Amino acid sequence: MKSLYERRKSGWLTSGGVTGVLTPVFAFVFIALSILTYPQFSWTDNALSDLGVVPGVTASLFNFGLCASGLLSLVFAIGLYKYLAKNILGKIGAIVFFAASLALEGIGWAPENIRPFHYIFSVAFFTFVPIALLIIACYLFITRENRLAGFTLLIALLAAAPWVLYFLVQYVPGVAIPELLSALAGSTWTVVVGWSMYQSGVRIYRATSQRKNP
């Protein structure tokens, strides 16, 4: 029974780890492609979500990329729940990250012209990510994983900082730059933690396989 549980956990960790690495790749590749198809896009004056309502291939690329990234992020969040299951704080952090992933999916399904849902999903995504990371950082400090805890805390601050500065001094007219900076910070974390999750899943799988076949 324990062996079956460990194999299932291994599967979620490995699949969650892979999707944690792939989520930013999908997101940024399709954002880049959509920008390439719309030369009028301005980093200082536009929001990234403006690309989601440009008629033709631009909107299709942008919205598909967000929907695909959202689905991948949901799988990552489930694996993250298994990865942080030592106490309730880790589970709460993973659940908040799952909510952020749902919001990312919602941004893809509800472009800018679908009000007020697009705005709600966008605010939820950029709010839930740093909150989830702060909770997870606390969990990691409690479990004495200090290096990863410090890294997670730093990323949480970097994800929140572009928005705090934007609302304090509004350093650009549009929100594309704070969106990009915040997303890059969160993506760096998912890649690092995704790789760690994948390695953990592989170790569990090998350990259970060795016990099964001595």
Query: Could you read off the pLDDT of 51-96 as tens digits, one per residue?
Result: 999 999 999 999 999 999 999 999 999 999 999 998 999 999 999 9
Cα(36)–Cα(112) distance, integer angstroms: 19
Cα(185)–Cα(116) distance, integer angstroms: 26
**165 exposure class (CB count in 10 Å sphere: 0-12, 13-18, 19+):** middle
Cα(181)–Cα(43) distance, integer angstroms: 12
* Crossing angle for the helix pair 117-142 and 88-109, to the nearest 10 degrees: 160
pLDDT band at 3 (very low <50, low <70, confident <90, very high): low
> Quick one: how far is CA 115 from the chain centroid?
23
Q: Residue 160 is encoded by which pair of tokens? A: 């929140």
- CB neighbour list of residue 156: distance below 8 Å, 6 or more residues apart: 130, 133, 134, 137
pLDDT band at 212 (very low <50, low <70, confident <90, very high): low
DSSP string, 135-195: HHHHHHHHTT-HHHHHHHHHHHHHHHHHHHHHHHH--SSSSHHHHHHHHHHHHHHHHHHHH
Report the predicted TM-score, pTM, of the whole model to 2 decimal places.
0.94
H or E segment to which residue 133 belongs? helix 117-142
Per-residue pLDDT at 151 exceeds 70: yes
Per-residue pLDDT at 24 exceeds 90: yes
pLDDT band at 205 (very low <50, low <70, confident <90, very high): confident
Nearest Cα neighbor of 49 from 180, 186, 190 is 180
